[in-house]
Structure 1
Amino acid sequence: MGGISIWQLVIIAVIVILLFGTKKLRGIGGDLGGAIKGFKKSMQDDETTAEKSEQQLENQKDASFSNEKSTEKTKEKDQA
C-alpha cells in the first residue's frame, strides 16, 4: 500500500538514464566502486595497524617489567 512497486522503480530508472546517460552513470558507478574498495582497504590497514600497536605495547610492558626486576636486584645487591 505505502511501498514502491517494481513499475515505479522502472520508471525512475528510465528517467535517470535519460537525464544522465549511460556513460555518465557507468563513470559514477566506477567511481563509487573505487571509493568503496579504498574504504575497505583503509579499514583493513587500520585494523592491522591497531593490532601491531597493541603488540608493541605488550612488548614494552614486558620489557619494562623485566627492567624493574633487574633494578630491584641491583638495589638489593647494593644494600647488602
Structure 2
Amino acid sequence: MGSFSLVHWLILGVILVLVLGGGRFSNMMGDVAKGIKQFKKGMAEEDEPVRDPSRIETKKAAEPVVEVQAEKLREDR
C-alpha cells in the first residue's frame, strides 16, 4: 500500500513529460551534459605551466625605502 508499482511510475513519468514538455526536458539534459564536459575539460587542464628548472629567473632588487625617501628630501631642499 505504501510503495509505487511500475505502472504508477510510468504514469507519473508521462505526466511529468506532459507538464514539462519534451523539448524542455531534452534541453535540461543537454545542459547537464555540457556542464559535465566543461567540468572534465577543466579538470584535464593544468592549473600552472611547468617551469624549466634549468632556467634561472633573476629579479631586480628593490631599492631600500629609507634611501628613496632621503633622496626625495634632498631634492625638495
TM-score, structure 2 as length reference: 0.50
* Larger Rg computed on CA atoms: 2
Identity %: 27
In the TM superposition, residue 33 of structure 1 has moved relative to its aligned partner by 0.7
Structure 1 segments unaligned to the other structure (5+ residues): 65-80
Higher helix proportion (structure 1 or 2): 1
Name the residue aligned to 2:33: 33
Q: 2: CA distance between counterparts of 1:49 and 1:4?
A: 48
CA separation of 1:19/1:38 partners in 2, compared to 1, >3 Å: closer, same or farther?
Answer: same
Structure 2 segments unaligned to the other structure (5+ residues): 57-77
Q: CA RMSD in A?
A: 3.1
Q: Is 2:31 the counterpart of 1:15?
A: no
Residues 22-80 of structure 1: per-residue CA shift (max 9 Å, x gap): 010011111111111011100101xx345x43xx2x71xx566xxxxxxxxxxxxxxxx
In the TM superposition, residue 11 of structure 1 has moved relative to its aligned partner by 3.2
CA separation of 1:44/1:10 partners in 2, compared to 1, >3 Å: closer, same or farther?
Answer: same
